[in-house]
Amino acid sequence: MAKKPTGSKPTGSKKDAARRGASKHTAPKSATTSRPLPAGEAQVAAVGLGSSVPDQGVSPPAGTPESKAPETETSPPAVSAHTPRTTAAAQPQTDSAPTQAPAAARLPGGSTAGGETSPEPEPKTEPKPEQATPPARSSTPADSSAPPPMRPRPTRDPEPASKPAQMPLAEPEPVPEKPLAPPPEPKLASVPEPEYEQPREPEPIHAPAPPAPARPSLFIVHITPELASVAKVGGLADVVFGLSRELAIRGNHVEIILPMYATLRHDQIFEMHEVYKDLWVPWYDGAIHCTVFFGFVHGRKCFFIEPHSPENFFNRGSIYGFKDDVLRYAFFSRAAMEFLWKAGKHPDVIHVHDWQTALVPVFLYEFYQPLGMTHPRVCLTIHNFAHQGVTGVEILHATGLHRPERFFNQDRMADNTYPKALNLLKAGIVYSNFITTVSPRYAFETKDQGQGFGLEPTLHTHQMKYGGVVNGIDYDIWNPEVDHQIPVRYSVESIDGKYDNKRALRHRLMLADNEKPIVAFIGRLDPQKGLDLVRHAIFYTLERGAQFVLLGSSPDERINGDFWGLKRMLNDSPDCHLEIGFDEDLSHLIYAGADMMLVPSRFEPCGLTQLIALRYGTVPVVREVGGLADTVFDKDYSHRPLHERNGYVFRDFDNAGLESALGRAIACYHNHPEHFRDLMKNGMRSDYSWNTPGQDYLNIYDYIREG
């Protein structure tokens, strides 16, 4: 075989030129209520003893003079699963090779906030991960290391169909001492019978449950720095995109507010027009003039805020990466709240994301509730605790949060590690009505295993309003049955189509056409992703008689340089291709054509790579952390039923652990192809759409509105 010429970074080799020439560029297919008692001000100390979250309003920090203990407490409604829009496959739970992952608290109906069913019993010595289930109020102290058990919402028999519609009565208050039990099955509405009784067929043993009663539509506003298709940097953009669609499908009114970036993909925005010309946002001792635009992004209603100021907050070449990022997003958060107030919008729920919008609940409580905006509740989703928005006192002067002594307090915004600094993410935790992260396992790790990057004490204080919900993926985009960016579409019933995509992948990347399995890595070249193990995996894969494909890049030029060196070193190998950069079309082809997907992360809040791989029948090889442990279950060591096992898992972050899992996967491919094929099908049958997470978030919204 002729040797592949080596070349410089941009030009690559003849192999790269031929690959680029062969690549396809297919386009992818109010009423205002009286101001409620500020929630949480006087109950933070009680929270540590197991009491529940505040009753009304956005949660103020503990120990404030405004707080007042409620006279009575009622048990919050359990997060019960409504009838899903589609039938979801059973969701697997953590149970991987070397260790047993902590189980999430079960929701009524047998599901968890991560969408799992029938979880395995867990070792008594391990604490359970936090579940995104609203806590049960109890008058007795609870163990501070874990939320109290949930109590199901009491149900009533529906009125007979023949009677006129009546307003539902208030649900009875459950007895606090009542043990946890599944709710009674609602009875079918009675139907008028004829005068003579007709014999009836016996009801099937597995008769479908009656439909859930219609729930009221909610007005939900997402305030976010990212949105897939128009402003994407990472997985946060995909979460907002997929979750907002699912909430809208379920009959809710959903709007999204984000900055008007100079890098915005205007070709993905339809019917954009100006809707608010004179929005003046308080800033320092004056105000900044803003214009608000409206447009549709794949059916989602979006508002874009454009400030007109010398700072050019969002008229820059990228979304993040500037020294004044904290000021930029503090201004955006204040502008979003000012727009809601000036436009007369009073949403039921404001959903904010990461530190960039964590000041929204602070502004709501400090500025807008006194003006009468008492209706909205706030849910904060933390996608990655590594980024917290730590800053100085200037942020208070800029946003109008005067009296620094009020906020430089451990019960409010003072950073736990640097008391003379302010922490925006901590402020969001303190002031929000509920906090979620992106998997139950990651919620447990951040609170109890030192992965909260200094916020562990704050999470323990507010643990009664903290839990995890596994992300979903958008099956309109990541679905081999409808994916127009791959040569051959396929399903679990026609899985042989995957091998046609494998041949197309080899042809595009000029890999040898043989019977070897293809191991792939797709993701940011970031230390979080376990780059040391990725490097080792490249050479180990080649030694074990397999092929390796990498697609990724890094904002760190040193890391990019290291992988460009690897690319030149391995350029002559017919079994390896490293693509330094990102190509959306190529990523779809790799998911469809690879046999195994490597995800050896140091920590992983949720992870979308393994979820997409499962959908495409690509067997994941992952480290047992975060959302990876909640979604991938080892073929050989899991206690789950065989039909739920879908990959290979290792625990220790070292070469030996990686070799154990990856070596078993390659050996199974060669020696037991029928077992490997079963793993592929198990993954494709799993339901990691937004169906279950969407219902979990609606349950959380209902809880914080009723509390």
- Looking at residue 11, its pLDDT comes to 46
Domain boundaries, the chain: 38-68, 227-432, 475-688
Backbone φ and ψ for 621, nearest 5 degrees, come out as -120, 110
Edge-to-edge strands, sheet with 466-468: 270-283, 286-297, 300-308, 253-259, 219-223, 349-353, 377-382, 434-437, 466-468
Tens-place pLDDT, residues 606-617: 999 999 999 999
Does the pTM of the predicted model rise above 0.85? no
Q: Distance between CA 543 and CA 197 in Å, rounded? A: 76
73 alpha carbon, distance to own chain's centre:
31
Determine the Cα angle at 515 with ends 513 and 519, to 5°: 90
Q: Distance between CA 657 and CA 655 in Å, rounded? A: 5
Structure tokens at 298: 């794949």
- Rounded mean pLDDT, 459-484: 96
| pLDDT band for position 13 (cuts 50, 70, 90) | low
Q: Single out the residue of 521, 538, 515, 503 nearest to residue 673, CA to CA.
A: 515
- Neighbour tally for 688: CB within 10 Å: 27
| pLDDT band for position 520 (cuts 50, 70, 90) | very high
Tens-place pLDDT, residues 291-340: 999 999 999 999 999 999 999 999 999 999 999 999 999 999 999 999 99
| pLDDT band for position 216 (cuts 50, 70, 90) | confident
What's the maximum distance between 2 C-alpha atoms anywhere in the chain?
90
Tens-place pLDDT, residues 33-79: 344 434 444 333 333 323 333 444 555 555 444 444 444 444 444 43
pLDDT at 690 over 90: yes
pLDDT at 103 over 50: no
Annotated binding site: which residue ranges?
232
- Looking at residue 210, its pLDDT comes to 54
- Looking at residue 393, its pLDDT comes to 95
Hey, which residues does 302 pair with through a beta bridge? 256, 295
Q: What is the CATH number of domain 227-432?
A: 3.40.50.2000
- Rounded mean pLDDT, 260-275: 96
- Looking at residue 555, its pLDDT comes to 82
Residue with tokens 């054509």: 593
Backbone φ and ψ for 76, nearest 5 degrees, come out as -70, 155
Q: Could you tell me if 279 and 289 are in contact, meaning their C-beta atoms sit under 8 angstroms apart?
A: yes
pLDDT at 541 over 80: yes
| pLDDT band for position 269 (cuts 50, 70, 90) | very high
pLDDT at 94 over 50: no
- Looking at residue 58, its pLDDT comes to 57
The more confidently predicted of residues 15 and 670 is 670
Tens-place pLDDT, residues 396-417: 999 999 889 999 999 999 999 9
The more confidently predicted of residues 526 and 105 is 526
Tens-place pLDDT, residues 158-179: 444 444 444 444 444 554 444 4
Tens-place pLDDT, residues 637-651: 999 999 999 999 999
Hey, which residues does 640 pair with through a beta bridge? none
- Rounded mean pLDDT, 540-561: 94
Q: Which CATH architecture has domain 475-688?
A: 3-Layer(aba) Sandwich (3.40)
- Looking at residue 40, its pLDDT comes to 42
Q: Distance between CA 77 and CA 379 in Å, rounded? A: 17
Structure tokens at 46: 């009680």
- Rounded mean pLDDT, 137-142: 40
- The mean predicted confidence, pLDDT, of the chain is 80
Burial of 271 (0-12, 13-18, 19+ CB in 10 A): exposed
Annotated binding site for ADP-alpha-D-glucose: which residue ranges?
232
For the chain, what percentages of helix, strand and coil (3-state, to nearest 5) are there? 30, 15, 55
Q: Could you tell me if 399 and 427 are in contact, meaning their C-beta atoms sit under 8 angstroms apart?
A: no
656 alpha carbon, distance to own chain's centre:
31
- Looking at residue 60, its pLDDT comes to 57
Helix (H, G, I), strand (E, B) or coil at 180: coil
Burial of 318 (0-12, 13-18, 19+ CB in 10 A): exposed
Task: Identify the weakest region by mean pLDDT among 177-181, 277-281, 428-432, 465-469.
Answer: 177-181
The more confidently predicted of residues 628 and 24 is 628
- Looking at residue 211, its pLDDT comes to 57
- Looking at residue 265, its pLDDT comes to 95
- Looking at residue 506, its pLDDT comes to 97
| pLDDT band for position 140 (cuts 50, 70, 90) | very low
Structure tokens at 254: 């959903």
Tens-place pLDDT, residues 125-135: 444 444 444 44
pLDDT at 594 over 90: yes
- Looking at residue 111, its pLDDT comes to 42
- Looking at residue 120, its pLDDT comes to 45
When mean pLDDT is compared over 25-34, 116-125, 446-455, the highest value belongs to: 446-455
User: Which residue blocks in 432-582 are alpha helix, DSSP H?
Assistant: 440-448, 456-461, 497-509, 531-543, 557-569
- Looking at residue 419, its pLDDT comes to 86
417 alpha carbon, distance to own chain's centre:
27
